[in-house]
Structure 1
């Protein structure tokens, strides 16, 4: 992953058809080398994208992401990683030439605290894909009330260390791994992502998830009414 260079974003909110009758949003962005990348929220249960990104990681990249050797992604891990809800577990997907190229996610570990993790397939590392993903996901996290980030990274993962430094997170060595906790702040320097468009996409995504729950008769209520959720994600 590259943490240098500014990514030019078209500032256009577009839609993709999905399992529900609602549309799913995505954002088009331009990388420093002129390449295009599409960013969008991961949909609940979307394991195919998870597997495609995992397959694009080398054994070294898999170890750096999961902190252990992992020749395959177990079924239980796929289910957990795909169990996103647009508030407490949020993941965004990057696509290059229509192919999954990376994922960034946060998982809330407390009322105002979340753990951040991200990965980029080896073929697209060094292009700035990680920067746009982290910028988008931390934008959603801030809008959702997350104030603190927690991270764990391997010491030899230099690209991730640099990117986390841009978030203002200080890392310290603990039992062979670098750990950090810091107040969530915008990525600096910014990637160029239109953060207002990201928040709008997050609101639309939350609404689509809620519609699917209602249409599918999930048997449980959303944690908050959509109006309250939209108000939280809206810019202040």
Structure 2
């Protein structure tokens, strides 16, 4: 297949003997890309990491690799990996992970990898792909959204996406990711409150407190003194502003 920059690449299934391929892909990731891929600092792959990533059996653990081809059509550089690990033996869902080296990002490699992986996963009896993505990982969010994955906010800075392999999603589901991203943007970058808005809230709170005092005094009768805590029964929030 051809990438967006015109270069050609080959997609093929990976196996336990592709440890060097996996190491080369990891070496092509910048520290920032590694943090997004592994959700934390990852300076190197140790033997335990390699044992897990290379335990590819074609049924419970699937992996597809992308390789750049030179002018003669010969493999010359690993570009990325997409993998799916079944959540449990016999389960119809799998955990998804995609990594593309920095120099090949935003060229269609991730989309191609994920589409081929989805075909192999469906053939292996996996109907759902899910993955957890950091909110800062705009590339993976966009990739999941293009394929119709359904987002869910897990709390903190993590989104969980689920992609159903059985068919096309409805328009409402396809548009759900936009609402989820909008909620994240509001959470991560709240709009600054202007001085005028704060002043209006303070004045409204004072007016509400004054009105409650007047009502309480009128009920107590002329000359009465309000007991401490008499205002606590008023329907207010902790800040003193009447809800609504």
TM-score by length of 1: 0.64
Shift of 1:180: 2.3
Q: Within the alignment, does 1:91 sit opposite 2:63 as a pair?
A: yes
Larger % of helix: which? Answer: 2
Distance 2:115 2:146 in 1: 10
Q: Within the alignment, does 1:74 sit opposite 2:46 as a pair?
A: yes
For structure 2, the residue ranges without an aligned partner over 5 or more in a row are: 70-75, 170-244
Tell me the secondary structure at the aligned position of residue 171 of structure 1: strand
Q: Would the alpha carbon gap of residues 113 and 39 (structure 1) be closer, same or farther in structure 2, given more than 3 Å must change? A: same
Q: What does 1:77-226 align with in structure 2 at a 5 Å threshold?
A: 77-97=49-69, 98-110=76-88, 111-174=91-154, 175-185=156-166
Q: Would the alpha carbon gap of residues 172 and 31 (structure 1) be closer, same or farther in structure 2, given more than 3 Å must change? A: same
Decide which moves more: 122-131 or 160-169: 160-169
Distance 2:58 2:168 in 1: 21
Tell me the secondary structure at the aligned position of residue 87 of structure 2: strand
Q: 1:15 maps to which residue?
A: none
Q: Within the alignment, does 1:45 sit opposite 2:12 as a pair?
A: no
Number of aligned residues? 160
Cα RMSD of the aligned pairs, angstroms, is 1.7
Shift of 1:185: 4.9
Distance 2:167 2:97 in 1: 16
Q: Would the alpha carbon gap of residues 186 and 126 (structure 1) be closer, same or farther in structure 2, given more than 3 Å must change? A: farther
TM-score by length of 2: 0.62
1:44-101 per-position Cα deviation (integer Å, ceiling 9, x unaligned)? 1321011100000000100111111001112101111001001110101101141111
Larger % of strand: which? Answer: 1
Larger radius of gyration: 2
Distance 2:122 2:44 in 1: 33
Shift of 1:169: 1.5
**Larger relative contact order (Cα-Cα within 8 Å, sequence gap ≥ 6):** 1
Is the CA contact 2:144–2:161 (under 8 Å) kept in the aligned structure 1? no
Tell me the secondary structure at the aligned position of residue 30 of structure 1: coil
